[in-house]
Amino acid sequence: QYVYAFVRSDDAQAIIARGLSGLNDAKLNMTSCGVLGAITSDIPVEKIRPRRQLLAAHQNVVTEISRQWDMLPVSFGLIAESDAELVRILESNADVLQQQLDRVGGQVEMNLVISLNTENAFQYFVERFPELKAAGAAVASGTASRDEMIEVGRLFE
């Protein structure tokens, strides 16, 4: 079973009823365990390569589910050997999955893109943050240790 997302069992039934298709146009299935469910589709292999068509199909299923239901998306490529294995996963992680579904319930995901219009991004930040300026001076003087240089990188990040 190829796994797309973890959802609430009641929602899983409604998701399946929508008639969405997954990888290789496979019909979506659900595996339930108590109040939790997994949205899956049959797949005849144990491992898949991240080809554009397959990535797009995975993302389409996840996107369509997220439009109407709370869900925890699964990274591309997760394949369970059987429904029994999925039930074990749901059982052993029930508390965490339920907590996370409650946490994301009713929320939306947004992407924010920021463009910095400057010739030298590093200089821009150094001029605005005194701690970066001081840390950068230590590195430039050649007296900074390897750990201190790593810390400057973390600070800049």
Query: Residue 52 and residue 30: Cα distance in Å, rounded?
Result: 25
- For residue 33, list its beta bridge partners: 36
Residue 35, number of CB atoms within 10 A of its CB:
13
- Residue 98 has what pLDDT? 95
Residues of the chain with pLDDT under 50: none
pLDDT in tens, 121-150: 888 888 888 888 887 777 788 887 888 888
- Residue 146 has what pLDDT? 85
Query: Residue 135 and residue 122: Cα distance in Å, rounded?
Result: 13
> For the CA atoms of 134, 138, 139, 145, what is the dihedral angle to 10 degrees?
-130
- Residue 96 has what pLDDT? 96
Beta strand pairing call for 36-41 and 28-33: antiparallel
- Residue 112 has what pLDDT? 87
C-alpha 6, offset from chain centre = 12
Query: Residue 148 and residue 144: Cα distance in Å, rounded?
Result: 6
Query: Residue 149 and residue 143: Cα distance in Å, rounded?
Result: 10
- Residue 33 has what pLDDT? 93
- Residue 114 has what pLDDT? 86
